[in-house]
Amino acid sequence: MTASNASITTVSLPYGTAGIAAAARVIADGGCVAMPTETVYGLAADATDSRAVAGIYAAKGRPGFNPLIVHVPDRAAAEALAIFDEAADRLAEAFWPGPLTLVLPMRKGAGIASLVTAGLPTIAIRVPAHDAMQALLAATGRPLAAPSANASGSISPTRAEHVLRSLDGRIPMVIDAGPTPSGIESTIIACADGRVRQLRPGPISREAVADLLGVAIGGAGAGIEAPGQLASHYAPSKPVRLNATVRQAGEWLIGFGTVQGDDTLSARGDAVEAAARLFDALHIADSAGTARIAVAPVPDKGLGAAINDRLRRAAVPA
């Protein structure tokens, strides 16, 4: 794992047997690789490895932890992670492999790092149609979390050159398979509580989904469809006090660095480790037998800024 601010050499390899083998080694070592999909290039890491997932956020410099899409090779692998209702079943049957992401209730014991789902009980999952991503899934045997392979705030990459434009020196490898066929990020459809909602428009139209299911498809909210910005932020059920250096009566203290607590994000003050533990630590604190949660200060640099953004949201009463 590389520190968020260190410059590393980014290797660009053509898609092929050697490239996929090299990419699979990076993933197995807990790193992330930029990979073409049929939509955009994604920055892939092992979705079961919280430190590897933290590395994705570190490389992208995301200001917060939006939940990520998990890529799997086929429907059977998706079934192991998520619970399909009838609508989800029909959508997967019709559009997978392809540019459709389904947000579904996550299965207990799915083994996905909580940083991937941002602590949510749902998981965004898709079966990509691109040979390169499928080859990497086969070579690693892991579910792969992959947001678009661009630095936060820059446009989505549809060519390896786009990836390098914003992530050169920040990731170890990009696999180049030329321009992506679609260039638009996948359509996101949530199937929960017997309802079907479109969270993000994409290559598969709302009409195509409505025609298939024989029902009108609503959106997640009025107008602004920025999935992950809306209902997706995990907030504990009890008050959260930030920048705490000592535990007060009735608090569960989540430590960091020299601030020791009932738990710690990272005893050695490592932001990557802290990001990897963040949602687990909040869940543990939430279920602890105390009335309130306190969290030690985390320096606001690198991934620390994303951690603090997330902590501030957790501290706002629901």
How many residues interact with Mg ion (rule CB under 5 A)? 1
Which spans of this chain sit near ligand TXA (rule: CB under 6 A)?
37, 39-40, 42, 66-69, 99, 101, 103, 117, 120, 122-124, 146-148, 185-186, 188, 199-200, 227-228, 232
Regarding 186 and contact with Mg ion (CB under 5 A), the answer is no
Measure the CA–CA gap between 53 and 50, rounded to whole angstroms. Answer: 5
DSSP structural state of residue 251 = E
Q: Which of residues 147-176 bind Mg ion (CB under 5 A)?
A: 148
Q: Which is nearer to ligand TXA, 72 or 244 (CB)?
A: 72
Q: Which of 123, 113, 256 is nearest to 191 (CA)?
A: 123
Quickly list H helices, 146-251: 160-167, 206-213
Closest approach, Cβ 185 to Mg ion, in A, equals 6
Closest approach, Cβ 229 to ligand TXA, in A, equals 7
Beta strands 173-176 and 11-14, pairing class: parallel
Closest approach, Cβ 263 to ligand TXA, in A, equals 25
Q: Which residue carries 């009025």 as its tokens? A: 222
Structure-token pair, residue 257: 């660095």
Which range in 7-15, 84-92, 121-129, 142-150 contacts Mg ion by CB under 5 A? 142-150
Structure-token pair, residue 232: 């997706």
Q: Residue 100 class from Cβ within 10 Å (0-12 exposed, 13-18 middle, 19+ buried)?
A: buried
Closest approach, Cβ 70 to ligand TXA, in A, equals 8
Closest CB to ligand TXA: residue number: 228
Measure the CA–CA gap between 101 and 165, rounded to whole angstroms. Answer: 26
Q: Which is nearer to ligand TXA, 53 or 295 (CB)?
A: 53
Closest CB to Mg ion: residue number: 148
Structure-token pair, residue 64: 């917060």
